[in-house]
Amino acid sequence: MLARIGIAFTVAPSGIPEEHPALPPTEAITAVALAKARAVARRLPPGLPTPVLGADTEVVLDGTLMGKPRDGADAMRILRALRGRVHQVITAVALVEAGGGGREETAAVVTSVRMADYGDPEIEAYVATGEPLDKAGAYGVQGLGGRLVAGVDGCFTNVVGLPVETTRRLLDRWGLLPAEAQPGAPETP
């Protein structure tokens, strides 16, 4: 998604487990996003300030973080819990300046998602594809899991895993956007 808006980047896994502290959902998710960005920033050599972007996305149902499924049976449990209901997808984005700058900023986006009233055969078929096994809430709206979604109220890219407009604004505040990626510039297809 960053490439689509003209941002050059390198992927560096943080190694941070996605275990959320006992805080309200948005605060817990923000803490993990910030921990991810800080972990990568600590590994970079000192010198020139280098921006590090970290993110964490979670599905929240009735105030409970659903997490990623442990296995197929857990994916089925999560999808049954979401069936026919509205939940929130929260993504926190953290920007940390590595290399001695120390500047940090976070933002979080909440999107409501209404799931269809799908049946167990649809859940079983979807889980058999393997797609839900590495997804928060056991579905990927941008993939086959989109068939299970009845509606999205808010930022679609947030549900995919990175709220593009919020990330763009955060990067812009830090002066990190090329002209073609400035807020209001169209995304390339």
Token pair of 112, please? 């409501």
| Closest-CA residue to 10 (of 50, 45, 47, 42) | 50
Catalytic residue among 56, 62, 134, 172, which?
56
Is 134 catalytic? The answer is no
Other C-beta atoms closer than 10 Å to the C-beta of 96 total: 26
Strands laid side by side in the 86-98 sheet: 64-65, 50-61, 86-98, 104-115, 149-153
Pairing relation of β-strands 104-115 and 149-153?
antiparallel
Our measurement of the distance from residue 10's CA atom to the centroid of its chain's CA atoms, rounded to an integer in Å, reads: 17
Residue with tokens 């929260």: 90
- Catalytic positions: 56
